[in-house]
Structure 1
Amino acid sequence: MSTTDNKEKEKLQDEEILELQHEIKKAKQEFKQAKHENEGMINEINSVINSSKEVQLHLLKKEKQKEEIVKQSEHIKESLIDEINSLLQSTKELKKNLHDKKQKKEEKIHEIEQEKEILTLEISHLLLGAEEIKKELTKINKKKEHQIEILQNQINETDQDIKKTILGIKEVLEGNLPTEKKLNILRTKLSGKNIKFEDMKKVVFK
């Protein structure tokens, strides 16, 4: 092989080497750029992952808060149900008490009405009885007044009769007739009177 051929060959080799070096350099730059881009993408991915983790943590926190709220809501719901049941029970008891009181009040009113009716009847009977008693007393008073009038007349008549009898006895006693005659006359005058002859005899001849 000639020297020229060797030089040509060396020149070609040098050009190939330079080209290879250029390619290598270019490849290194591309790799570097790709690496930079990859790092950017990795950073973005990491940022997204971190953001995703934060979102997950936030969502987890929200979920826990939601669970806590649900628990609190359930607790509040149970408490409200208990309070409502208690209020319903109290309302039922209050309603029952009011019903019992109303029933007792109605029974009491009924009893009072019955007692009122009974008292009204009793008062009516008493008034009728009082009227009857008044009538009877009026009759009795009138009867007594009539009896008193009759007795008074009898007393007056008896008094007049006694006066006449006394005058007659006095005339007989003061007369001049014999004693036996006087006694017979006195016996006749005192006949039918409530004065015993023997008593009069004792008085006259004592």
Structure 2
Amino acid sequence: MDLFSSPDETTNLLPHDGIVNYYGVVFQKALADFFLEHLLNNIEWKNDEAIIFGKRIVTKRKVAWYGDKPFEYTYSNSTKQALPWTKELLELKTVIEVQTGETFNSCLLNLYHDGNEGMAWHSDAELDLKKNGAIGSVSFGSERKFAFKHKRSSETVSILLEHGSLLVMKGETQTHWLHRMPPTRLSKKPRVNLTFRTIVE
């Protein structure tokens, strides 16, 4: 099922076993353009790494990890230590917390240089994260399709994430659903995604 109609953040995009709300554009174009430019040039980006079947893989996609404390976050058998918040990231966090009524203590950022870079099916269910906690996903830059697939039934839901938009995943979403960002030849420009999370100490 594709969901490209007008957003209503009270609508659950998933048919069952989780909650996903799409708030649509929460940062108007001028402000979204400012944050995109700032994030591209001022975040401490590094190529992502993963250990798969004992082999170290380095992606073209870049990542950065920020938080309240130097939290450690482990995924794909690779551990990162959080950098201190920048002023702009704290501003974004405050807006997202007000919009969603949730609180977050960390943020994983992803930089996709163009549509050739994507993300394979996965769920954010690492032990470091608050179980069934909310994840606030903010998108700046090129519009990209974002898809969900149920782990048992394989039914799918997809949505187009707009420049300056907010999507929230919570409840049992990570337990029952996978998500991905498929590559596309249609996108020639960069995209920055921020996923605000809660690390459990």
Q: Same fold (TM over 0.5)?
A: no
Higher radius of gyration, 1 or 2 = 1
Task: Tell me the TM-score normalised to structure 2 length.
Answer: 0.15
Higher helix share: 1
Structure with more contact order per residue of length (Cα contacts < 8 Å, sep ≥ 6)? 2
Higher strand share: 2
